[in-house]
A and B are shown apart, each in its own frame.
Chain A
Amino acid sequence: MHNIKLFCGSIAILMLFSFSKVENKKADSHLKPSEVYEIPTDAKSILKRSCFECHHSDSKKILAKGKLSFDKLDELKDVKKIASLKKIEKEIKEDKMPPKKYTKNFPEKQLSEDEKKIVFEWINSELTSE
């Protein structure tokens, strides 16, 4: 019994170590670890609710994340990032995203006018900082 506990414990510790290593690697591979890309919280919570399910590297929806991944925005070249931000703005302005088919089933994922404004403000601040 005691042996099993020891065994499990050491496995758990080993796993923790290996996880922390992965974390470190991720941070290292980023060009500027002190400036890990963060979307401001208010905009992020809206995008997270309405877009990340399809547009995030963790997403299972390959088609959409191949076109746009919010967590990869900052890895893009400046001009590509600008193009992506403008596309995001356009899709939201024209109510094309999130897709109608999807919001029919999940109406709570639709953006209100106020929420759109918050996202547009984030986009504008990103653009002017480029």
Chain B
Amino acid sequence: MNLKKYKLFAIPVILILIQFFQPAKNSMGIGENHIINETSIADTVKNMLSVSCFDCHSNQTNYHWYHKISPVSWIINGHINEGKEELNFSNWKSMDVYDKIAILDEICEEVKDKKMPLKAYSLIHNEAKLSEEQIKTLCDWTSQYSELLLKENKQ
């Protein structure tokens, strides 16, 4: 009987305690190598990437208040670290041309297969969901842009 009461009490205590364990924030700002600073990319494309991808694929995440609460903050932090490892738009301008071409191909594949943005993210960030039209715009961009990069590289 008593034990049951203690157990119930333990849950809020644990929830409060874990708030003291917060991962470092991903907020190094937009560096000069960020894809935003790439002048040859249309604003419509940059806006889409900004709304749907930068939170996990750049050095600057726009946090909401609930992102700062454990264990949500831990999950988010995991997504960001993993996402940046695969693709970090903050490093775009310093990337090797072949890496760019390869990742452009993957960007189109991931959004076409509805794997990106992550479901967990677009469920909460409704605005991040990409429409069929937006997906087409992104894929048209990735194929045109990679052709352009290759042409420039040959010159």
Contact = CB atoms under 8 A, between A and B. Distances in A.
Contacts of A78: 150
B105 A80 contact: yes
B98 A87 contact: no
A78 B101 CA distance: 10
Given A79-B143, A79-B146, A127 B98 contact: yes
B99 interface: yes
A127 B106 CA distance: 18
A130 B150 contact: yes
Interface residues of A, number: 11
Contacts of A87: 102, 106
B143 to A, nearest CB: 7
A82 B98 CA distance: 7
Contacts of A85: 98
B147 interface: yes
Contacts of B147: 79
Interface in B55-104: 98-99, 101-102, 104
Interface string B14-32: 0000000000000000000
Nearest to A128: B98
Identify the interface centre among B99, B102, B104, B105: most chain A CB within 10 Å of its CB. B102
B99 A79 contact: no
B150 A86 contact: no
Contacts of B101: 79, 82-83, 86
Nearest to B142: A79
A9 B146 CA distance: 56
Interface in B98-132: 98-99, 101-102, 104-106
B63 to A, nearest CB: 30
Interface in A32-72: none
Contact of A82 (B106, B143, B150): B150
Given A79-B150, A83-B101, A86-B101, 16 more contacts: A78-B150, A79-B101, A79-B104, A79-B105, A79-B143, A79-B146, A79-B147, A80-B105, A82-B101, A82-B102, A83-B106, A83-B146, A85-B98, A86-B98, A86-B102, A127-B98
Interface of B: 98-99, 101-102, 104-106, 143, 146-147, 150
15 contacts: A78-B150, A79-B101, A79-B104, A79-B143, A79-B150, A80-B105, A82-B101, A82-B102, A82-B150, A83-B104, A83-B106, A85-B98, A86-B99, A87-B102, A87-B106
